[in-house]
Amino acid sequence: MRVMQVKPLLLSLMLGLGAALPSLSTATDAALKTQSVARVSSPEIIQILSVDGDEQLGAMFGSRARTLELTPGEHVVSVRYTQLFQLGADDHDIIKSAPIAFRFTAEAGKHYTFTVNPPKRHDAAVAFAKNPDIRLVDSASGESRSGILVKSLGQASLVDTMSKAFQTATNDDTTGANGRLESLKTLWLNATPAEKQAFAAWLAAQAAAK
């Protein structure tokens, strides 16, 4: 009789343990994934437009607070400031800035947040949108960086392409100084005026950060 009573108990314990294992595994997998990627968050008022030149789904339908997961390494994330103002009972205005490109090195396990101190008045928002002060903050260290204002998502992608080419030419010791210089000259001569403007803005941002 005792055996008949123990077996159901053991079976119940085994089933309970088996049911718990998937949850434990899922939690472990989630923790490992969090440690292997970087996260970038934005509030409702900052709209993420593109990542490394790829337009984000929903970008054209207004601002959305969201969190992205990025692989570790260099990335260019373009955002814009957007704010809705109710001017009257049946009148409103949506203030938007031009895209702002942020080039940064994402580190695994870190969390980065776009921050802004938005104006409260419509006239102040119109002025603010011309040169919005948006920062990308490392949540752990508190270190922040600013982006560069670009005219389009294409220019944001170009900043990524040309700056990577610049970095490759600078780091390639096999070509020698003259070879690197010629590579940079070729990139510059083949660029359009808009591309030159975007790259010059990136260079200025790099100089200001030092």
pLDDT at 55: 82
Q: Position of tokens 């390494």?
A: 73
pLDDT at position 193 over 70: no
**Can you tell me the distance from the alpha carbon of 96 to that of 86, in angstroms, rounded to the nearest whole number?**
15
pLDDT at position 37 over 50: yes
Q: How confident is the model at residue 127 (pLDDT cuts 50, 70, 90)?
A: very high
Residues 77 and 23 in one domain: no
Residues 84 and 32 in one domain: no
Residues 42 and 7 in one domain: no
Residues 101 and 182 in one domain: yes
- What is the average pLDDT score of the chain? 74
Number of C-beta neighbours around residue 1 at 10 A: 5
pLDDT at 176: 54
Q: Position of tokens 């752990």?
A: 140
Q: Quick one: three-class SS letters along 87-114? A: EECCEEEEEECCCEEEEEEECCCCEEEE
pLDDT digits (tens, 9 = 90+) for 135-181: 999 999 999 998 887 766 555 555 655 555 555 555 554 455 566 66
Mean pLDDT within 26-34: 53
What is the tally of structural domains in the chain?
2
Which amino acid does the sequence have at 75? H
**Can you tell me the distance from the alpha carbon of 2 to that of 154, in angstroms, rounded to the nearest whole number?**
76
Query: Per mean pLDDT, which range of 13-22, 26-35, 151-160 is the poorest?
Result: 13-22
- Alpha helices for 37-152 (secondary structure H): 122-130
pLDDT at 33: 56
Residues 31 and 45 in one domain: no
For 72, residues 6+ apart whose C-beta sits below 8 A from its C-beta are 36, 37, 38, 106, 107, 108
Residues 43 and 24 in one domain: no
Domain that holds residue 23: 1-36
Residues 42 and 30 in one domain: no
Residue 106: beta bridge partners?
A: 73
Residues 29 and 42 in one domain: no
pLDDT at 206: 60
Residues 6 and 64 in one domain: no
First to last CA, the chain: 81
Q: How confident is the model at residue 103 (pLDDT cuts 50, 70, 90)?
A: confident
Residues 29 and 103 in one domain: no
At residue 187, φ and ψ (nearest 5 deg) are -60, -45
3 state SS of 180 = helix
Estimate to the nearest angstrom the gap between the alpha carbon of 33 and the chain centroid: 18
**Can you tell me the distance from the alpha carbon of 41 to that of 136, in angstroms, rounded to the nearest whole number?**
9
Residues 16 and 111 in one domain: no
Q: How confident is the model at residue 90 (pLDDT cuts 50, 70, 90)?
A: confident
pLDDT at 40: 96
* CA 158 to each of CA 80, 192, 196, 203: distance values in angstroms, whole numbers, following the listed order: 17, 11, 10, 13
Q: How confident is the model at residue 91 (pLDDT cuts 50, 70, 90)?
A: confident
Mean pLDDT within 131-136: 93
pLDDT at 8: 52
pLDDT digits (tens, 9 = 90+) for 63-84: 467 899 999 988 889 899 999 9
Residues 63 and 80 in one domain: yes
In this structure, are residues 167 and 184 in contact, taking their beta carbons and an 8 Å threshold? Answer: no
In this structure, are residues 79 and 102 in contact, taking their beta carbons and an 8 Å threshold? Answer: yes
pLDDT at position 97 over 70: yes
